[in-house]
Amino acid sequence: TYKILDNHYYKTTITNIAEHNFGYSQWQKAWDQADINSCKLMSDIHWRLDQELTTFAVASNIVPYHKLFSFADSTDCVLMVIGVITAIGSGIAMPLQTLIFGELIDTFGGNQDNKTIVHQVSKVSLKYVYLALGTGAAAFFHVVCWMVSGERQAARIRSLYLKTILRQEVGYFDLESMSGDVVERMSGDTVIIQDAMGEKVGKFIQLTSTFFGGFAIAFSQGWLLSLVLLSAIPPLVMSAAFMTVIMSKLMSRGQAAYSVGAAVVEQTISSIRTVASFTGEKQAIANYEKSLAKAYRAGVQEGLVSGLGAG
C-alpha cells in the first residue's frame, strides 16, 4: 500500500490523522480491508477516511449541556443566580393563588351578614394584590436576567467563533464554506444556543417550580384526591417526550435546509460574473427557492407537532 502512495506527505498526513482521531489499530484494520489489487484502491481509501472522520467529528461535537455556560463571566453568573431565584418565586406563585382562591370561596360559607362577607373578601383581595406585585416583580427579573445573560454569552461565543475561523488555514474554508456552514453557524446556530441558555432556562425553572409547588400544596390539602389525579401524568410525560424528539428532528432538518440556501447565495454572489455570463441566475434562484421550500415544510411540520403536543 505504501508503495502505491508514493507521496510521503500524503501518507504521513493520513497516518497522523488516523492515529490522533480514532486509533492506529482501527485505521490499520480499515486499511487492510481495502482491496489493494483493485484499481479503485484510492477511492476506497478516500471513502473510508471520510467516513471515519465524519463519525469522529459528529461524536466530538456532542457536549454536555452545562458546557454551554463555559463562556459565562462573573456578571453572567450573578445574573443567572438572580434569575434562578426569581424564576422559582414566579413559578410558586401559581399554586399559591389556589390557596388564596380557596380562602375567597370559604368567605361565602356559613350564615354571615353582608358586612362580614365584604370585610373578609377585602382581606383576601388584599392578599391577591400582594401576590400579584410579588409575581410581577419576580417574573420581570427572571426574564430580564436570563435574557441579558444569554445575550452576553451568545455575543461572546460569536466573537470567539469568528476569531477562531479567521485563524484557520485556507484548506478549511475549501471544505466548510462550500456548504455555507460558516455563515449559518454565525447567524443561525448561535441564536439556537442563545435560546438554550437564555430565557428558556428561566421558563423551564419557573414551570418546574410550579410543578413541584403544585404537588406540595395538593398533597398538603388533600392527598387522596391528589393520588387519583396522578394517573394523568404518565400520558402527559410520554406525549411531551415524543413531541420533543420530533421537534428536534424537524428543527435540524430546517437548519440543514437554511444551510443549503446560504451556500447557494454565497456561491452565487461570490461568482456573480460567472453566473451572469452563463445566464445561470434562474437556476440559482430555483435552487434557493427549493431550499426555502424545504425549510418552510419543516417549519409547518414543527408547528403542527407543537400544536398536537400542546393539545
Q: Could you tell me if 138 and 84 are in contact, meaning their C-beta atoms sit under 8 angstroms apart?
A: no
pLDDT tens, 132-166? 999 999 999 999 999 999 889 888 888 888 888 77
Instruction: Tell me, yes or no, if the pTM score tops 0.95.
Output: no
Q: How far apart are CA 31 and CA 229, in angstroms?
A: 61
Q: Could you tell me if 145 and 202 are in contact, meaning their C-beta atoms sit under 8 angstroms apart?
A: yes
Q: What is the DSSP letter of 73?
A: -
Q: How far apart are CA 186 and CA 158, in angstroms?
A: 6
Q: How far apart are CA 215 and CA 210, in angstroms?
A: 9
Work out the end-to-end distance of the chain between its first and last CA atoms, rounded to an integer number of angstroms: 61
Query: Residue 223 is placed in which grid cell?
Result: 392527598
Query: Residue 85 is placed in which grid cell?
Result: 431565584
In which element (H, E) is residue 123 found? helix 114-166
Cα–Cα–Cα angle for 141, 142, 146, nearest 5°? 115
Phi, psi at 285, each rounded to 5°: -65, -40
Q: How far apart are CA 167 and CA 170, in angstroms?
A: 9
Nearest to 209 by CA among 98, 87, 83: 87
pLDDT tens by residue, the chain, 311 residues: 333 344 444 444 444 444 444 444 554 554 455 444 444 444 554 455 555 544 544 444 667 777 888 888 899 999 999 999 999 999 999 899 888 888 888 888 766 778 888 888 888 889 989 999 999 999 999 999 999 998 898 888 888 888 887 787 777 666 655 545 666 666 677 777 888 888 889 899 999 999 899 989 988 888 888 888 888 888 888 888 888 888 888 888 888 888 888 888 888 888 888 888 888 888 888 888 888 888 888 888 888 887 877 76
Q: How far apart are CA 47 and CA 53, in angstroms?
A: 10
Q: How far apart are CA 33 and CA 14, in angstroms?
A: 16
Q: Could you tell me if 106 and 44 are in contact, meaning their C-beta atoms sit under 8 angstroms apart?
A: no
In which element (H, E) is residue 167 found? none
Contacts of 191 (CB under 8 A, 6+ apart): 154
Cα dihedral 65/66/70/73 (nearest 10): 130
